[in-house]
Amino acid sequence: MSEDWNAAARLVAGGLDPQDVRVDVEAYLDEDLSAERRDVTSASIFGPEHTSVVVLTARADGVLAGLPVTHVVFDAMPGDVEFTYLAGEGARIREGQQLARIAGKTRDLLAAERTALNLLCRMSGIATHTRRFADLLADWDTTVLDTRKTTPGLRALEKYAVRVGGGENKRFGLYDVAMIKDNHKEAAGSVSAAFHAVRSAEPEVDIQVEVETLEEALEAVAAGATFLLCDNMSPKELSEVVDAVGERAQLEATGTITLGSVVEYAATGVDFVSVGALTHSSPILDIGLDFEE
């Protein structure tokens, strides 16, 4: 095994639990190799003591995210692996740039290759997409957020990639923040009734209220809400909400916000814009693994 603390320290610095990542990585490897870690092709061609050096190389420009996770993937293989970082997490990388060099038994390197690249390309793609939004918002007091529209089993890693790219995570699941949506308002009878029901049952939990009109925004704030999610409002409608309640509540705009429209939404004065596409539609960043010449 290579120096686990090296990867662990980098994961902790990024807000990830190294033990959780290791458990997840083991499951990802089992999916590709089975519990026996069998790569029948490489085992047929390379002897058990054959060693190699491989290099991770960017094949497109973007933002790097997930290199410590990749380190954990190679560390999870049976043989000793030496993992050398050649680029920093969150760095803007260029096509052709070498990102890491890994030395070890050839069977292990090739068996871990696809799992490592699947994670690294996915996370770097999310970070790259997020950075484009963050760059457009650099001159505004508005932050881009992700949503719960994540890949099952990858939420922690995908939300980490958003942070690496310059975005923020407002909530991780249904357990840590209450979100009052249409069904809740309808069942309770009104925005204010739904808010009071949640506040009574969960006095310590943060509450977000989804609103679709200025009238709902006014009702929510009057009930005590301090965070409103303004759903599918036009920039003009958002400006009216900002003028009416912006001093009393944080405001998040959501609903098909794109790179082409995000500045228009930021100009309304909202505190946040949330973009589900960061995690459900970001293209991967192309990164390859090749034998070192």
Residues classed as catalytic: 114, 149, 181, 210, 231
Strands 227-231 and 206-211: parallel
* C-alpha–C-alpha distance, residues 77 and 104, integer Å: 10
One DSSP character per residue, 46-97 reads: S-TT-EEEEEEEESS-EE---HHHHHHHHHTSSS-EEEEE-S-TT-EE-TT-
- Decide: 255 and 232 in contact? Cβ < 8 Å: yes
- Decide: 220 and 228 in contact? Cβ < 8 Å: yes
Strands 272-274 and 143-145: parallel
* C-alpha–C-alpha distance, residues 31 and 27, integer Å: 6
